[in-house]
Structure 1
């Protein structure tokens, strides 16, 4: 396998992970995809995917993450781990501060900070079928006659 092929595969894997994590975050937090920051980030993921020729794969990873994040949120609500509708002063305060920070720094900055914190506190593993798909992107060894 050539060096550039390894770099391309690593870049695709990184993009897959980013798309899955971002989709999971959007699904878990219940954010709208119409918020400019979310829309811009998603469009950037898709633009990079088109450049690498893996648009459908990245779109699938994002959507899978979104569904799994939403399902996880619903499970936690059902288990009583998230108290829906029961607000205490402690729980209200960070949201108000987040909104104020967003107003001060521009639309989406608060969400970007929230996403960064989410990634620091949540360990997400890319589903195996996406990793298996990466193997199918490799050029078969017999087709790489003179490259090695």
Structure 2
């Protein structure tokens, strides 16, 4: 019984980390949640969460990641403005528009490029799951006095 509990807890922790990282990526890169590949990935994560009975927790981790990613993006934009002096809005937004048109967000090719972008992002960015999500995992454990002894 102990091994399956630990594997279930590890699976929940992994799913929380995945939801947080994906949300952070979406917020940091400024991608729309309505792009088909983003919506599909998010729905896959939420489906797994429902199966494990932690939907609200996983949704909260995704939204927290998205918010923190967006904040980090804004901070880096602001730092860039301070260091470089001044940037016009036109210069700042033009590359993003070109990238989205070039990639073709709704195509299979666009999905593959975004998957590669997400994988590279995870390799270059170290994200740590916020402590409150880890603390919540402790509350999901069965108290020791209610566990059956292993023989």
- 2:9–2:137 CA contact under 8 A, matched in 1: yes
Q: Offset of 1:108 from its aligned partner?
A: 1.2
1:25 corresponds to: 25
1:107 Cα shift? Answer: 3.9
**Uncovered stretches (5+) of structure 2, i.e. residues with no partner:** none
Q: Which residue of 117, 122, 127 corresponds with 1:119?
A: 122
Candidates 128, 133, 139, aligned match of 1:130: 133
Which residue of structure 2 aligns with residue 69 of structure 1? Answer: 69
Supply the distance in 1 between the matched residues of 2:134 and 2:141 (Cα, whole angstroms): 12
Partner of 2:38: 38
Q: Is the 8 A contact 2:33 2:39 kept in 1?
A: yes
Alpha carbons 2:103, 2:109 under 8 Å: kept: no
The offset of 1:16, in angstroms, is 0.4
The answer for the alignment partner of 1:99 in structure 2 is 103
Q: How big is the alpha-carbon RMSD for the aligned residues of Structure 1 and Structure 2?
A: 2.6
Higher helix share: 2
Aligned pair count reads 143
What is the rounded CA distance, in whole Å, between the counterparts of 1:85 and 1:143 in structure 2? 62
The worse-fitting range, judged by mean Cα deviation, of 107-116 and 130-139 is 107-116
- Where structure 1 has 5 or more consecutive residues not aligned to the other structure, the ranges are none
- CA shift in 2, pair 1:5/1:112, >3 Å: same
